[in-house]
Structure 1
Amino acid sequence: MQAARLLLCAAAAHAPVPASAAGWDVGKASSNFELVALDDAELSSRSIDVVHMGDVELTSGRIVAADPLAQPDRPALARTVAPGDYPVTLYRAFGRIAAASMRVAEGKPDHWELAVLPGQDPAMLKDDEIFGYPVDAGVGCYMDANTLDLIDEREAQVQAQKPDADINYYDDVLASELDANKNHYALHRPIAGKKGNVAVFWSGWGDGVYPVFWGLDKDGRPLVLLTDFGVIENSDGRREPKVQ
């Protein structure tokens, strides 16, 4: 499965990719939706470790799910939520981040839909295709679209401190925060004292293309956002999936 994902690291940012090549079960997209309905004890019984990261501060409600190092300016998802602070949970298995959820409202989803960017139409996908975001730096994230301005501001501050150096946001800013959590995750605040942060997390198998899904109630209201990194199947971490 890892080798298949690595083949996709240079995929076009907005184009669909073959679901089978990305390691997804064609026609199903994800078998891990049950993750968000299980409590910590139930997840532990399935050999899944839970990390409650804290809240992502959405100042506009326009959500960016992306590799924040390779593509921080990726467009926000088409569906928006009310501005607010929303908790992020990581699901870890086989020593990797298997999935990441952001809870928008309480409740068990009635149905799921693929999260898309403006202009992406799931109805246009072929049976063996899926939309997802490309990862080229081994991490994914949830953040508000406005937070990009804070990242740019932080980068400018670092550049001013090192005017003759080539600035790398990972090395110069994020590395120490990720190191504190074994490089698995960090709740990063670009500018101290300013609202707007980034939930950064290891993207399962590393580089590749990963889909994001909305869990909706029976009336179509969003309850949770889930990124599936394809590390586990059937919401169970006791048996590692076979290599595709």
Structure 2
Amino acid sequence: MRAARLLLCAAAAHVPVSASAAGWDISKASSNFELVAFSDAELSGRSIGAIHMGNVELTSGRIVAADPLAQPDRPALARTVAPGEYPVTLYQAFGRIAAASIRFAEGKPDHWELAVLPGQDPATLKDGEIFGYPVDAGLGCYMDADTLGLIGEREAQVQAQKPDSDVNYYDDVVASDLDANKGIYALHRPVAGRQGNVAVFWSGWGDGFYPVFWGLDKDGRALVLLTDFSVVENADGRKEPKLQ
């Protein structure tokens, strides 16, 4: 099944990221928005495990959702939040990370909005199309846009320690953090003693193309951000979705 899932994700990576017609329906983009409203016990009853991995430090409130190894310099999302430290929760099913969320405020979202980069407009999407981010290293992340500079500093530090070798940020830096959690997730701090970390986690069944959504209250205030890795449907891990 895993091989089939990887093929499905690879195909999804070629979904167009822009279109020229209105009428796009967010309810067709994900059926897993209820994940963020369930308690740990309710999730367990649906065969979904919750991993509370700690807080991501958003120093500017400009959030990058991306593959941290293949595309760390991806632009930040257009919507911003107040700087602060916010808890990240992972939702695990079928031995994979099915989704990942950041919680900004308590409460159940009143409605959901597709997270976009500056210049992207969901109204331009046709049915079956979506904005999202590509994954080529099997990982997703949340981090502040300012943290990219710290990653560059850490890379330079490692390079200075081994000037005659190429630096591989995964092998030389991130792998040891992930290994502490069976390779599944890590709160990676690029530079010790400096504020700004990266919530890194498995991306569903592997490489692919994945959407991110804002859960908003009735006044349009951001309560939660959710990445859906297309592992479960209807916020339920008791029955694996059929391949399309």
Q: After TM superposition, is the score higher than 0.5?
A: yes
* Contact 1:98/1:231 (<8 A) preserved: yes
- Displacement, 1:33? 0.3
Which deviations, in whole Å up to 9, do the C-alpha atoms of 1:90-136 show, x marking residues without a partner?
A: 00000000000000111100000100000000000111210010000
Q: Secondary structure at the match of 2:155?
A: helix
* Paired amino acid for 1:45: G
* Paired amino acid for 2:162: K
Equivalent in the alignment of 1:41: 41
* Structure 2 counterparts to residues 63-142 of structure 1, below 5 A: 63-142=63-142
Which deviations, in whole Å up to 9, do the C-alpha atoms of 1:138-197 show, x marking residues without a partner?
A: 000000000000000000000000101011100000111111111110000000000000
* Contact 1:2/1:243 (<8 A) preserved: no
* Contact 1:26/1:127 (<8 A) preserved: no
Q: Secondary structure at the match of 1:98?
A: strand
**Runs ≥4 in structure 1, deviation > 2 angstroms?**
14-17
Equivalent in the alignment of 2:183: 183
- Displacement, 1:8? 4.5
Q: Separation in 2 of the partners of 1:27 and 1:218? A: 18
Query: In the comparison of the two structures, how many residue pairs are matched?
Result: 235
Matched, 1:221 2:221: yes
Equivalent in the alignment of 1:239: 239
* Paired amino acid for 2:183: N
* Paired amino acid for 1:119: G
* Contact 1:26/1:128 (<8 A) preserved: no
Which deviations, in whole Å up to 9, do the C-alpha atoms of 1:200-229 show, x marking residues without a partner?
A: 000001100000000000011100000000
Q: Separation in 1 of the partners of 2:137 and 2:6? A: 15
* Structure 2 counterparts to residues 56-67 of structure 1, below 5 A: 56-67=56-67
Name whichever of 27-36 and 49-58 sits farther off. 27-36
5+ residue gaps, structure 1, are: 18-24
* Paired amino acid for 1:85: E
Q: Separation in 2 of the partners of 1:186 and 1:114? A: 26
Q: Separation in 1 of the partners of 2:222 and 2:27? A: 22
Equivalent in the alignment of 1:52: 52
Compute the RMSD of aligned alpha carbons: 1.6
* Paired amino acid for 2:42: E
* Paired amino acid for 2:89: T
- Displacement, 1:26? 8.4
Equivalent in the alignment of 2:6: 2
- Displacement, 1:36? 0.3
* Contact 2:49/2:91 (<8 A) preserved: yes
Equivalent in the alignment of 2:17: 15
- Displacement, 1:2? 3.0
* Contact 1:27/1:127 (<8 A) preserved: no
Taking every aligned residue pair, what percent have the same amino acid on both sides?
79
Q: Separation in 2 of the partners of 1:95 and 1:127? A: 30
* Paired amino acid for 2:127: D
* Contact 1:97/1:202 (<8 A) preserved: yes
Q: Separation in 1 of the partners of 2:123 and 2:151? A: 35
